[in-house]
Amino acid sequence: MSRFRLPKGGRIDRARPISFRFDGKSYGGFVGDTLASALIANGVHLVGRSFKYHRPRGIMTAGADEMNALVGVGADQTRYTPNMRATLVELYHGLVAESQNRWPSLGFDVGAVNDFLSPFFPAGFYYKTFMWPKPAWKQLYEPVIRAAAGLGKAPTASDADRYMQCYAHCDVLVVGAGPAGLAAALAAAETGARVILCDEQREFGGSLLASDTDTAIDGLSAIEWVAKAVEALARHENVTLLTRTTAFGYYPHNFLGLIERVTDHVAQPDPALPRERLWQVRAKEVVLATGALERPLVFPENDRPGVMLADAARTYAARYAARPGTRAVIATAHDEAYRAALTLKQAGVQIAAIADMRPQAEGEWPAAARAAGIEVMTGTAITGTRGRMRVSGATLARIKGDGTAEKGEQFACDLVLMSGGFTPSVHLFSQSKGKLIYDEGLKAFVPGASPERNRSAGACAGETGLHATLESGYAAGEGAVRAAGFGGGLSGRSLTVTEKISAGGGFAGAVPHGRNPSFVKAFVDFQNDSTSKDIKLATREGFLSVEHVKRYTTTGMATDQGKTSNMNMLGILSDTLGKPIPEIGITTFRPPYTPVTFGAFAGMSRGELFDPARRTAIHDWAAEQGAAFEDVSLWKRAHYFPQAGEDMHAAVNRECKAVRESVGVFDASTLGKIEVVGPDAAEFMNRMYINAWTKLEPGRCRYGVMCREDGFVMDDGVVGRIAADRFHVTTTTGGAPAVLNMMEDYLQTEWPDLNVWLTSTTEQWAVIAVQGPNARKVLEPLVGDIDLSAAAMPHMSVREGHICGVQTRLFRVSFTGELGFEVNVPADYGRAVWEAIWASARRFDAVAYGTETMHVLRAEKGFIIVGQETDGTATPDDVGLTWAIGKLKKDFVGKRSLARAQMSNPQRKQLVGLLSLDNRSVLEEGAQIVANPNEPVPMAMIGHVTSSYWSSVLGHPIALAMVKGGRVRLGDTLHVPMPGKTLQVKVVEPVFFDKEGARLND
Amino acid sequence: MQKFSGFSLIRQALSGHQGWQAQWRTPEPKASYDAIVVGGGGHGLGAAYYMAKEHGLKNIAVLERGWLGGGNTGRNTTIIRSNYLFDESAALFDHAVKLWEGLSQELNYNVMFSQRGVLMLAHTVHDVQSFKRHIHANRLNGVDNEWLSAEEAKEFCPPLNISPGMRYPVVGAALQRRGGVARHDAVAWGYARAADALGVDIIQNCEVTGIRRGVNGAVEGVETTKGFIGSKRIGVSAAGHTSVLMAMAGVRMPLESYPLQALVSEPVKPVFPCVVMSNTIHAYISQSDKGELVIGAGTDAYTSYSQRGALHIATHTLDAICELFPMFRRMRMLRNWGGIVDVTPDRSPIIGKTPVPGLFVNCGWGTGGFKATPGSAHVFAHTIATGEPHKINAPFTLERFRDGLMIDEAAAAAVAH
């Protein structure tokens, strides 16, 4: 075993050894290790390279705040993930990881030349240069910058894993299962409340997992207490325990996003399990027990591999039985580093010295350290380190009264530990829009008041010491559960804690040193290589707001989002600007707390499930006939029905001819349908539609047009009056939801006095259109109780009866210009009735036709399609529908807007027909129309082609267009400039076939 | 103004960069100015710059409630394009693109305008019709925009999924090669520095709390947290807060304010060469020079002044991104934020005069204001300085909503049949 693996202790399972690879080399570890702890236990500290200067970097933390040790994990591209924090990657057998942002190797990285050139690359250097010569930005500078930037590499293959999502409600959500969170959950669970407890780690316990051996809670060791607490929680059916689960976002109204990592730690995952699970939790009350993060010290060369946070080093020794070095120099402004020194000394690490910036260090921990024979130097700062791939020495110097330091003394070491105190993790609290209060003692912000129902407990609330943390956890749990409406509480709780108390303290800012500040690098944001001199440069250049400094220097913008850098940046700003920290303020905390996988947000919404595909009752029949389909909003619609060897045009030509000559059958089920019912139904229709409805008799239909408030056409469709108080409204396929929404909006907010009910019936009715001269003959044998004759059932009428024994609403309507019917039957009978109609129709050489043929046939008749002829800017008059407006109505939606001056400007675009002068060119839909083809660009465009088809029936192309003042241009020749040629068109009336409508009324 | 260049950088390096001066002053407000711009974003700072540079006004102040560029300038996804449908819009946005093309040199500040191409994906027959209409109109307006087949689109953007088995297969795309992205903060800072050099007072942490009008109704100045500041010409350029400010002068604006979210991934090496937008499945994406994937979508559904949005919006944005680019499923969201956008009834901006003499407004850019920054600032400067609109912004009046002369770019998203 490696000499860096301690012979006993820790939370690793020595019975289950693991082998893994890092940068192609094989190593061993144990279940319970993280990648970081296993590397440390193998004596590996060099793990990555920094973003800008490509400086060698090691493992600095033991948790979510890691900014240096980022690795790519995954044996193949379908499961490769870049930028993983080695401190959070759980080890499993066969894990493959690699370092990033280096070429050709981690040890020899060409990019490190940036470090030598760094004097020319201060913060924001790129704003000042690369501007000359101008084309070089695109050709040279930007490609070079882009290639240099970025950390890991995105996977190149599609992800092989799946992700799931779930929703949950609870009375109390406890975030974080360290001592405070466990205590809060215990207190809340006791009352019977629904509790969810989540923690980002593989096991509950938080800081207690790295507890000192002599710490005791209620007579139990810390680990025993955790086990007992978890066991007690697990006994409650109302408690959900989520390990490996990070609460990453706090959204309005106590809505939190949690991400559970289900299989990333498993070598051979169960294929039935998702990789991750996104929990969206609505909690009555939230307890935040998110702990605190240790602050680095900002001193020259504080970034070398082997420089670590003191508490992280302690955690590696105590929790993972990994010895982070052999000889340590410790620099601190806080008592906890002494605790680390003692743990490490026990683990066989020689402690060269502890340099404490504070003038005195007299608490229980410093006393214990001194008693153990460790040299303690107070009033002393660390002013530099040596070594390149691994730290080899540190300089400690006495701090002078003027804020600088003496020359100092060199100490050989392979480990430098630092502690600037602890920053409460107020991320989620701040996301909840809670107010932060600056605590001078901690040199950090702590939670104040929140508009949400939450409370913070333990270290994230600024508590120090285990006893105080547990007390605040119990109190928060009790408080939360009472606020959620539960009585009682934890019965017979005792709390005795044996611990040494940290005196606290802390430091934020740049550590004093006697060296030339312009030529040393003291890192504030390690990953982004932003240094204390960068921050000073920013202030010199006038960037005085903390947000400006952040953006100009990129401090806090790395993948740890400022977890370790924000407070030090504020400290330096405070010094530089001579302003206290609370006056400088703090940058906004944004979700997520730690990065969250895109795939988890997408969940099952992929492929077919990306959007629900809506299919009609007749869909399968069409598919069996070999129909091609098109997407129309969520629907799959049969586009055309090709026969062997036919392309779309051949199929459409055949389908069109058959409808005009005999009969065609069309699935119109996707049209939106709304049942408008009630004593005030006619009045409601009068207000919603531009048409008049009062006089429409039951049994008759009318083509309805609906405008938005702004007077532009929004939707259209045939409306049948079934009874005095009942309308069968149809809408466009895509417009159905918006129409119903607008109707409901008006009904509920503007006209609550109207006695009307609205029901979407789109999916209740299957609709079969039978169109063509033989349509009546097709239906007659199938319909028993409805007289289909022209006299009994004229065009635009509706009857209720039966077809094939099935109840029907039978409309006589036509979108083709032919004699036509639309058979509405309950959707469950749709296919059976369709097949019966199809069998009947085949006696007449019928075709089944799709949307393309429908488009051609209606265009031949000049019927508009909302969304094709109209585009949200056309009034009813623009598309020739003035006749539909109920002139005597006092009001309807859009009427007032239609009265605006410009709405009746004769130069508005109007619907016209176009014929190609060459009689064969089919215009391109969307092509622009000009009066003068010889004008230079920009040309004056007077219109555009909205619909354009080859009419097989007429034997020439036809087009509809919107043209400025089009109705007075009838007969004019206009021009359609296309790339390379200009087509000539004649403006005609927008009806090409059966202008008199004789066929409709047959 | 201290000149920025590679040489100055080297020279300063020798002295440890101690010689760099403040990029702009931090003045206290004077008692009065010839013109005041309310709002220190790109549009407002740019307007001040062009007023000083092209209209000879020397006594100008920009008042910013917080920090420069802290509104939508510093929150957007930086997409720049000009392939708009209507003549009025194409003229306005292409004016901006032309100014973008020389902006780094104009300001002596590298705004990193990167013309990497904006690809807009078509997924349905309706999309094809709409995009073709844009392409034809753009061609005749002299704005570049070309149609690509799905295969050509993939060649231009290799990560794109064009599998026919997708729920909404990519059937083609419109490409504007002159489109791209820029570094948003640098736009605000570059204009601030250049304006300051021309004598413009840039006053941060100065919130306007009232607009004072005289007996004849004309503006006389603004009440601020730093006291009253007089001016007979006031331009409001405060996206996300326009309605509130204009109400101070008694003007009710036809605006609704919605949160708009954006997000970035962790940085990775170059993997995404261009900008891709899909209106049908609601997402857009590019990769910043730093390596982050920059992603956005539509607004939240409800009006709000809170600069954050709901989780389900980000969720839907990312499912669209994963569908279009399955290789990004394992990428991770690093940061998700929100801004407030002011939306007009026709989705086009208002740049011009108001019923109050001396009060001008530039607002209503919805989700697309950043791309217009230099063009908008330029014509707004003209409007404030001369009292009359430039011919490019003449159609973008407030009165058009009263008269019905809309410029409805939402036309592209009209309902499908």
Please report, for the domain that includes residue A754, its CATH number: 3.30.70.1400
Question: How far off is chain B from A235, nearest CA to CA, in Å?
Answer: 33
Cα torsion angle, A371, A373, A374, A377, sign: positive
- Tokens representing A23? 């940068």
**Helix, strand or coil for residue B191?**
helix
Distance CA A75, CA A72 (A): 10
Q: Is A870 part of any domain?
A: no
- Tokens representing A17? 């050894």
Question: Is B328 in Cβ contact with A588 (below 8 Å)?
Answer: no
- Tokens representing A452? 């949400």
Least confident of A694-708, A909-923, B100-114, B302-316: B302-316
Per-residue burial over A502-533, b if 16 or more Cβ lie within 10 Å, else e, is: bbbbbbbbbbbbbbebbebbbbbbbbbbbbbb
Question: Is B334 in Cβ contact with A601 (below 8 Å)?
Answer: no
Which of A126, A257, A542 has its CB closest to that of B23? A542
CA angle B304, B310, B312 (to 5 degrees): 140
Question: Is B335 in Cβ contact with A610 (below 8 Å)?
Answer: no
Least confident of A600-614, B144-158, B262-276: A600-614
Listed residue (A54, A19, A11) closest to A35, CA to CA = A19
CB B257 within 8 A of CB B240: yes
Residues A663, A677, single domain; the answer is: no
Question: Is A120 in Cβ contact with B10 (below 8 Å)?
Answer: yes
The residue out of A585, A607, A625 marking a domain boundary is A585
Residues of chain A in contact with residue B40, where contact means CB-CB under 8 angstroms, are none
Question: Is A630 in Cβ contact with B16 (below 8 Å)?
Answer: no
DSSP codes, A785-825:
S---STTTS-SSEEEEEEETTEEEEEEE--SSSSSEEEEEE
Question: How far off is chain B from A61, nearest CA to CA, in Å?
Answer: 19
For the cut 70, the answer to whether the pLDDT of residue B179 exceeds it is yes
B228 interfacial to chain A (CB closer than 8 Å): no
Number of domains in chain A: 7
CB within 8 Å of chain A, chain B residues 274-313: 281, 287, 289-291, 306, 308, 310-311
For the cut 60, the answer to whether the pLDDT of residue B2 exceeds it is yes
Helix, strand, coil percent content, chain A, rounded in steps of 5: 25, 30, 45
Residues A195, A259, single domain; the answer is: yes
Q: What percent of chain A has pLDDT over 90?
A: 96
Please report, for the domain that includes residue A770, its CATH number: 3.30.1360.120
What integer is the mean pLDDT of A158-179? 97
Distance CA B51, CA B29 (A): 18
Distance CA A413, CA A393 (A): 5
B414 interfacial to chain A (CB closer than 8 Å): yes
Residues A349, A416, single domain; the answer is: yes
Residue with tokens 């941060």: B204
Contacts of B2 (CB under 8 A, 6+ apart): B8, B20, B21
Question: Is A518 in Cβ contact with B17 (below 8 Å)?
Answer: yes
DSSP codes, B245-300:
HHHTTT---S-EEEEEEEEEE--BSS---SEEEETTTTEEEEE-TTS-EEEEEEE-
What is the domain range of residue A448? 163-292+424-490
Please report, for the domain that includes residue A986, its CATH number: 2.40.30.110
Beta carbon pairs, A and B, within 8 Å: 355
Question: How far off is chain A from B31, nearest CA to CA, in Å?
Answer: 24
Q: Is A562 part of any domain?
A: yes
How does pLDDT run across A911-959, given as a tens digit for each residue? 999 999 999 999 999 999 999 999 999 999 999 999 999 999 999 999 9
How does pLDDT run across A79-137, given as a tens digit for each residue? 999 999 999 999 999 999 999 999 999 999 999 999 999 999 999 999 999 999 999 99
Residues A675, A663, single domain; the answer is: no
Question: How far off is chain B from A493, nearest CA to CA, in Å?
Answer: 39
The residue out of A734, A761, A788 marking a domain boundary is A761
Substitution target from A248, A521, A537, A601 for chain B, most B beta carbons within 10 A: A601
Which of B10, B167, B336 has its CB closest to that of A613? B167
Residue A249 β-bridge partners: A257
Strand order in the sheet with A216-217: A220-221, A216-217, A497-498
CA atoms within 13 A of residue B5's CA, in its CB half-sphere? 10
What integer is the mean pLDDT of A710-735? 97
How does pLDDT run across A380-401, given as a tens digit for each residue? 999 999 999 999 999 999 999 8
Residue with tokens 């701040």: A430
State residue B415's pLDDT score: 34
What integer is the mean pLDDT of B177-199? 98
Q: Find the closest chain A residue to B164 by CA distance.
A: A607
Residue with tokens 């490609």: A143
Residues of chain A in contact with residue B323, where contact means CB-CB under 8 angstroms, are 602, 605-607, 610
Distance CA A613, CA A633 (A): 9
What integer is the mean pLDDT of A609-626? 96
Distance CA A31, CA A207 (A): 19
Question: Is B411 in Cβ contact with A871 (below 8 Å)?
Answer: yes
Substitution target from B10, B124, B332 for chain A, most A beta carbons within 10 A: B332
Question: Is B91 in Cβ contact with A938 (below 8 Å)?
Answer: yes
Question: Is B105 in Cβ contact with A872 (below 8 Å)?
Answer: no
- Tokens representing A304? 């070398």
CB A778 within 8 A of CB A844: yes
What integer is the mean pLDDT of A254-261? 98
Residue with tokens 């009232």: B210
Q: Is A470 part of any domain?
A: yes
Distance CA A588, CA A765 (A): 52
- Tokens representing B294? 């920059």
Residues of chain B in contact with residue A633, where contact means CB-CB under 8 angstroms, are 416
State residue B413's pLDDT score: 47
Which of B91, B167, B314 has its CB closest to that of A607? B167
Per-residue burial over A970-987, b if 16 or more Cβ lie within 10 Å, else e, is: eeeebbbbeeeeebebeb
CB A885 within 8 A of CB A939: no
Please report, for the domain that includes residue A197, its CATH number: 3.50.50.60
Please report, for the domain that includes residue A546, its CATH number: 1.10.10.1100
B164 interfacial to chain A (CB closer than 8 Å): no
Question: How far off is chain B from A684, nearest CA to CA, in Å?
Answer: 23
Question: Is B291 in Cβ contact with A516 (below 8 Å)?
Answer: no
CB B272 within 8 A of CB B117: no
Residues of chain A in contact with residue B3, where contact means CB-CB under 8 angstroms, are none
Distance CA A247, CA A262 (A): 15
Q: Is A599 part of any domain?
A: no
Q: Is A875 part of any domain?
A: no
Distance CA B403, CA B42 (A): 30
- Strand pairing class (A523-525; A797-803): unpaired
Give B417's pLDDT tier (boundaries 50, 70, 90): very low
Residues A643, A702, single domain; the answer is: no
Q: Is A279 part of any domain?
A: yes
CA A147 from centre of chain: 26
Listed residue (A593, A796, A828) closest to A702, CA to CA = A796
CB A355 within 8 A of CB A511: no
Residues A35, A89, single domain; the answer is: yes
How does pLDDT run across A782-811, given as a tens digit for each residue? 998 999 999 999 999 999 999 999 999 999
- Longest CA–CA separation in chain B, Å: 68
Residues of chain B in contact with residue A518, where contact means CB-CB under 8 angstroms, are 15-18
State residue A490's pLDDT score: 58
What integer is the mean pLDDT of B272-294? 96
Distance CA B155, CA A999 (A): 51
Q: Find the closest chain B residue to A125 by CA distance.
A: B9
How does pLDDT run across A641-679, given as a tens digit for each residue? 999 999 999 999 999 999 999 999 999 999 999 999 999
Question: Is B20 in Cβ contact with A540 (below 8 Å)?
Answer: yes
Q: Find the closest chain A residue to B70 by CA distance.
A: A547
State residue A518's pLDDT score: 86
Residues of chain B in contact with residue A278, where contact means CB-CB under 8 angstroms, are 315
Residues A769, A718, single domain; the answer is: no
Question: How far off is chain B from A843, nearest CA to CA, in Å?
Answer: 32
Contacts of A941 (CB under 8 A, 6+ apart): A928, A929, A930, B87, B137, B140, B141
Residues A324, A248, single domain; the answer is: no
Residues of chain A in contact with residue B274, where contact means CB-CB under 8 angstroms, are none
Helices marked H in A585-680: 598-602, 619-624, 648-661
- Tokens representing A453? 């129902």
Residues A364, A396, single domain; the answer is: yes
Question: Is A598 in Cβ contact with B265 (below 8 Å)?
Answer: yes
CA distances for B354 relative to A26, B220, B360, angstroms? 72, 15, 6
The residue out of A127, A156, A185 marking a domain boundary is A156
DSSP codes, A695-746:
TPPTTBEEEEEEE-TTSSEEEEEEEEEEETTEEEEEE-TTTHHHHHHHHHHI
CB within 8 Å of chain A, chain B residues 83-102: 87, 90-91, 102
Residue with tokens 């026990």: A346
What integer is the mean pLDDT of B16-28? 96
State residue B309's pLDDT score: 86
Question: How far off is chain A from B310, nearest CA to CA, in Å?
Answer: 7
Residue A330 β-bridge partners: A354, A417
What integer is the mean pLDDT of B51-64? 97
State residue A984's pLDDT score: 98
Distance CA A954, CA A948 (A): 14
Question: How far off is chain B from A814, nearest CA to CA, in Å?
Answer: 17
CB B62 within 8 A of CB B48: yes
Residues A693, A656, single domain; the answer is: no
Distance CA A655, CA B143 (A): 40
How does pLDDT run across A507-561, given as a tens digit for each residue? 999 999 999 988 899 999 999 999 999 999 999 999 999 999 999 999 999 999 9
B3 interfacial to chain A (CB closer than 8 Å): no
Residues A391, A434, single domain; the answer is: no
Helices marked H in A848-927: 851-860, 895-898
How does pLDDT run across A413-456, given as a tens digit for each residue? 999 999 999 999 999 999 999 999 999 999 999 999 999 999 99
Q: Is A71 part of any domain?
A: yes
CB A337 within 8 A of CB A417: yes
For the cut 90, the answer to whether the pLDDT of residue A403 exceeds it is no
Listed residue (B64, B205, B75, B185) closest to A553, CA to CA = B185
**Helix, strand or coil for residue B346?**
coil
Give B416's pLDDT tier (boundaries 50, 70, 90): very low
Task: Give the count of beta carbons closer than 10 Å to the beta carbon of residue A726.
Answer: 15
Question: Is B417 in Cβ contact with A900 (below 8 Å)?
Answer: no
Substitution target from A52, A54, A146 for chain B, most B beta carbons within 10 A: A146
What ipTM was reported for this prediction?
A: 0.97
How does pLDDT run across A289-307, given as a tens digit for each residue? 999 999 999 999 999 999 9
Q: Is A366 part of any domain?
A: yes
Substitution target from B136, B189, B336 for chain A, most A beta carbons within 10 A: B136
Q: What percent of chain A has pLDDT over 70?
A: 99
- Strand pairing class (A415-419; A307-309): parallel
Question: Is A541 in Cβ contact with B333 (below 8 Å)?
Answer: no
Distance CA B264, CA B336 (A): 7
Q: Find the closest chain B residue to A633 by CA distance.
A: B416
Question: How far off is chain B from A466, nearest CA to CA, in Å?
Answer: 32
Residues A509, A466, single domain; the answer is: no
